[in-house]
Amino acid sequence: MESQAEAYEQENVHEVYQNIAQHFSATRYKPWPIVHQFLQNLTSGSIGLDVGCGNGKNLMANRNVFIIGSDRSENLARIALKQHPHSAIVADILRLPHRDAEFDFAICIAVVHHLSTPERRAQAIAEILRTVKRGSDLQPGGQVLIYAWALEQKDSRRGWAKGDQQDVMVPWVRKNPTAPQESQTFHRYYHLYEEGELEGDVERAGGQVVTSGYEKDNWWVIATPKVIS
């Protein structure tokens, strides 16, 4: 089962991003407001992760912290390399090459919705929570900001709403401006999150929800590892 899900994601997520990296990157140039605010509020010298960093657009929000961005797509991580003073590597969200409880924060923006089973989505969140500092009664733990695409987006171009199918293939059209007939369409797999589902995944992953909300067609949550006292 596990290797089937992995092969599915390889074909319907990873390979697509490798193919659309340049065009995808050109359409994404600044962090969303809540992501921007989260990164801006960090203490100078904080160390953190951007898991599934894509072209690194979120890395530019704060140059006084150090972020290691990682992505499954080497083509995207390579674009992210240009965001100094930060860094970028190629890594898998389920097997992050980082020590336990080391980081002050992590962000994971528009990534977990690409994992194709509920178990793998919870595992991905657990893996990110593993890397941030554990809190205690005296000190809060590291915070993780997670975004996922919402099922509830009636007013968007896609028009999905509650009750619709949650596991969908979403087309990406790579246009060739000089030869429109050569435009190519790629399909990416998405799991659309319904209200409350992301919070549920965080709990299942051993995390605690600090705050959560909805912004522009996405559900978001700020989580921290559960304090064990």
Partner 1 sequence: MKVITANFVTCAVKDCKTSAASFPLHFHDAELEMQEIDFQPEFIRNVIPRIDWEGLRVTANELGFPSLPDSKPEGKALEDERTLKDLHRLLLETQVMEGRLVCGNCGHQYAIKEGIANFLLPSHLV
Q: Which stretch binds partner 1 (CB under 8 A): 97-105, 140-148, 179-187, 202-210?
A: 97-105
Q: Looking at 1, 27, 84, 177, which residue binds partner 1 (CB under 8 A)? A: 84
Q: How many residues bind partner 1 (CB under 8 A)?
A: 30
139 binds partner 1 (CB under 8 A): no
- How far CA 112 is from CA of 44, 45, 98, in Å, comes to 28, 27, 18
Structure tokens that stand for 137 in this block: 């009664």
CA dihedral 179, 182, 183, 188 (to 10 degrees): -160
Per CB under 8 A, does 99 bind partner 1? yes
φ, ψ for residue 218, nearest 5 deg:
-130, 145
State which of residues 63, 154, 162, 216 lies at the interface with partner 1 (CB under 8 A).
63
Is residue 102 near partner 1 by the rule CB under 8 A? Answer: yes
User: Residue 28 contacts by C-beta under 8 Å, 6 or more apart in sequence?
Assistant: 54, 55, 57
The whole-angstrom separation of Cα 38 and Cα 161 is 28
DSSP 124: H
Q: How far is the CB of 1 from partner 1 (least distance, A)?
A: 14
Residue ranges in contact with partner 1 by CB under 8 A: 3, 44-45, 47, 63-64, 66, 68, 70, 72, 74, 77-78, 81, 84-85, 87-92, 95-100, 102-103
